[in-house]
Amino acid sequence: MDLTNKKIFIFLQRNWGRKIGYPIAKKFANEGASLGALTFQKDYHQTYLESDLKFDWLMSHDDIINNPKLFLKDDEISIKEICENLKIKSIWPYVQSLREHVKNYNDKFFFGSYKQNVSDENILLYVKSAYKLIVKIEREFSPEIFILPNFVSIIHIFTYLFCKTKNIKIFAYSSSPLKGKSIFVRDFNDSTGKFFEDIDKYNSKNELPLNTEKVNEYLKNELQKFDSDTKKINQKLNLFGKTKTLIKQIYKSLVKKNKPHHKQKKKLFGANPDNLEIKYLIRDYISYNLNCIKTKKTKFYNLEDIDNFAYMPLQYQPEANIDVTSASFNNQIETARQIAMNLPGDMTLVVKDHPEMFGLRSYKYLEKILKTPNIKLIDSSYKGTYVVKKAKIIIAPTGSTFFEAALIKKPGLILGNLGTARMLPNVLKIDNYNEIQNKVDEIINSSKEWNEEYIKKLKIIVGCSFEVSIDNEGAYSRIWQTSYSSDKDLNYIYRKFKEEVMRLL
């Protein structure tokens, strides 16, 4: 397909925009495409304005989110109108994705106060301005396709919903069930796209992908992890180990302190992990170390003493999987309490914190879970595969644990809408806590009959993950998140994006 005059709109989102979005946008432009873009992070916006690539449409999202009232001007947009035009019942589940609005970093380290940050009035101003922005893009640029780095906030979700009503193509990057393998998805629940289409194709034909040998080798290696003698990972208590990081952050804070857009953002949202004053940096440093010390001293339950249990791994938070695809269950303390309260017979609920939340999650948060009836909180240093192997069932709103469970035919109940978990052969979707008692027995009993057909479905998922993966042995993530750079890998990534654009158009 000739890309000449094809109208491509891309979200140049923070570091992704700088490291991946802008380079692939230049390559699209070199092939004759017309480019529009929405920038995220004011530092980079001016760079894009002055760059060699002349966008046909360009706007800063930071200007809008920091002053939605100015962007709205006298336009009267009602929430009812937004709901009707986007074909949704309510905007409030999607508001949960607005980290800076609904989560407060001012009061406690790492959003630990669980208080709303700005008023409902300010939230609604931004919701209306986000909708106006999408309409403005469509009217002034008329994109044929949107390219997003992910679906993580209301602007991404509204863009998807708007595209759906207007029949405009859209896709974003996401993770496949396999760790380190990435896919393109076409909705914010990660449930549509070529990956899913290929799985349906192979299932309908009752065929396996051609890479059977690679799939078998992968499954063999993954299953070996469950037989490992190691029960725990090593979580060292490196007190004051972040001193060097603190010094760098203080220097960065002093440099950015007088930039106008940082002052504007601070006025509306206050403290933010990306733009902290020195007093907050010191507070966070002390809080992190205190959390580490207190968590290490917590008297967790011994997993070896627990027999009949369901397992709920806590999710890293704030994060899209829990705050976007599982917004109704993103209060993880309440979710754990409700699951524990609805388990059948003498089954108890084992909860384990996410290892990467060690030091970030308040020890008081963990204490609340620890002192909830029928919940056994275990040390986060336990290996996830070891806990999965001992559990009778996995029950959670989201997470990669469902795939680990699938490898050993361990049943799972998912409360949220994450498509890459819901499509697994071991997972049953439930919509409310009242279903748990009956569904636990139902899926455990049915798992006894999982045989060759189950294995075939699992192999198709693994095979399709290999076939459509865009990560090129981890290069995509390294370019995005580290200082690594490679023209060869960027060319590979561009080819994958171009293939998807051509496929959809």
**pLDDT tens, position by position, 371-385:** 999 999 999 999 999
Distance CA 479, CA 485 (A): 6
Residue 120 lies in a domain: yes
Give the per-residue pLDDT at 252.
74
Domain limits for position 313:
303-458
Whether residue 261 has pLDDT greater than 60: no
* Beta-strand runs (E) in 41-177: 57-60, 145-148, 169-175
Please say if the pLDDT value at position 443 is more than 80. yes
Residues 48 and 66 in one domain: yes
Mark whether 424 and 486 lie in a shared domain: no
**Domain presence at residue 235:** no
Q: Do residue 309 and residue 438 come from a single domain?
A: yes
Q: pLDDT tens across 61-96, in order?
A: 999 999 999 999 989 999 999 999 999 999 999 999
pLDDT at 260 over 60: no
In this structure, the answer to whether residues 146 and 12 fall within a common structural domain is yes
Q: Quick one: average pLDDT of 389-413?
A: 97
Q: Which residues contact 140 (CB under 8 A, 6 or more apart)?
A: 57
Asked, for residue 171, whether it belongs to a domain, the answer is: yes
312 and 260 inside one domain:
no
- Which neighbouring-strand residues pair with 8? 35, 145
Tell me, yes or no, whether 451 and 495 share the same domain.
Answer: no
- Which span out of 247-251, 334-338, 464-468 was modeled with the highest average pLDDT? 334-338
Residues 277, 152 within the same domain: no
* SS3 assignment for 450-470: CCHHHHHHHHHHHHHHHHHCC
- Asked if residue 449 belongs to a domain, the reply is yes
Considering the domain architecture, whether residues 357 and 448 belong to the same structural domain is answered as: yes
Whether residue 185 lies inside any domain: the answer is no
Q: pLDDT band for 329, please (50, 70, 90 cuts).
A: very high
Residue closest to 173 by CA, chosen among 504, 446, 496, 411: 496
Give the 3-state secondary structure of residue 290.
Answer: helix
In a domain, 206, yes or no: no
* 224 occurs within a structural domain: no
Q: How confident is the model at residue 246 (pLDDT cuts 50, 70, 90)?
A: confident
Cα–Cα distance between 353 and 224 in angstroms, integer? Answer: 24
User: 148 and 19 share a domain?
Assistant: yes
pLDDT in the model for residue 227: 84
**pLDDT surpassing 60 at residue 265:** no
Instruction: Work out the pLDDT band at 291, boundaries 50, 70, 90.
Output: very high
Task: Return the minimum-mean-pLDDT range out of 306-315, 345-354, 479-488.
Answer: 479-488
Verify that 307 and 443 share a domain, yes or no: yes
Structural domains of the chain, count: 3
Single residue among 269, 297, 325 that ends a domain in this structure = 297
Give the CATH number, domain containing residue 377. 3.40.50.2000
Q: What is the pLDDT of residues 332-341, one digit of tens each?
A: 999 999 999 9
Percent of the chain with pLDDT over 90: 82
* Residue 128 confidence (pLDDT) above 80: yes
Is 126 within the bounds of a domain? yes
Higher-confidence position of 220 and 228: 220
In sequence order, which residues have a C-beta less than 8 Å from that of residue 252 and are 6 or more positions away?
none
User: Quick one: 450 and 490 in the same domain?
Assistant: no
Q: Is the pLDDT assigned to residue 473 strictly greater than 90?
A: no
Q: Same domain for 138 and 162?
A: yes
**CATH number, position 83:** 3.40.50
Spatial separation of the C-alpha atoms in residues 481 and 375, rounded to whole Å: 36
